[in-house]
A = this chain, B = another copy of it.
Amino acid sequence: MKKFEEKTVMSQPIFQGRVISLKVDDVQLPNGATAKREIVNHPGAVAVIAFTAEGKLVVVEQYRKALERSIVEIPAGKLEPEEQPAATARRELEEETGYACKELTYLQTFATSPGFADEVIHLFIARGLTPVQEKAALDDDEFVELMEITLQEAEAMMASGAIYDAKTAYAVMWWKNQK
């Protein structure tokens, strides 16, 4: 869908980082006027709604520097170049939780912040979890704590703000709908 398309007149690269890059585009608006768009490019990510045999949701607590606090999230991670989202989902689930999964089902993709970023998250559902013998290593700069929670606990964490990010909030709402 290209309704109200904003054509790029000029694109200025500002920053190229390890995770994101930033550019400022001059665009031509539908009425012919021009405007500036500040755009963050991100490789995209996956997130996994993983259930234990007891029907609990697997979540990890981790510190988020951007928020200056730790929050409880479903396992997630960035896509590596050329990596298929399903492979990323299995990798991140194993790295962050120590679980492999028998079943992995694609649920949905959404953009997290379309006003300024191209990041999308591919959501998967994982069932049939089995602890891996040799737990894969986390990234060097990653510290997470594993938890397994009921829907009631998840809703309480939403209410308290312990669960505080869009993908996990969506996952909890989706879960509630399955009941």
Q: Which residues of A come within 8 Å of B, CB atoms?
A: 1-6, 14-15, 17-20, 22, 24-25, 27, 29-31, 33, 35-40, 42, 45, 61-67, 69-71, 73, 76, 78, 108-119, 121, 140-141, 143-145, 158, 161-162, 164-167, 169-170, 173-174, 176-177
CA distance A174 to B176 in the complex (A): 9
> Dominant SS at the A interface?
mixed
A1 to chain B, nearest CB (A): 4
A78 to chain B, nearest CB (A): 8
CB closest residue in chain B, given A163: B110
Task: Write out the residue numbers on chain B whose beta carbons fall within 8 Å of the beta carbon of A45.
Answer: 115
A8 to chain B, nearest CB (A): 8
Task: Write out the residue numbers on chain B whose beta carbons fall within 8 Å of the beta carbon of A145.
Answer: 3-4
The 8 closest A-B pairs by CB, nearest first: A35-B141, A166-B166, A4-B63, A64-B114, A173-B173, A4-B143, A37-B65, A17-B38
CA distance A66 to B176 in the complex (A): 31
Task: Write out the residue numbers on chain B whose beta carbons fall within 8 Å of the beta carbon of A5.
Answer: 63, 70
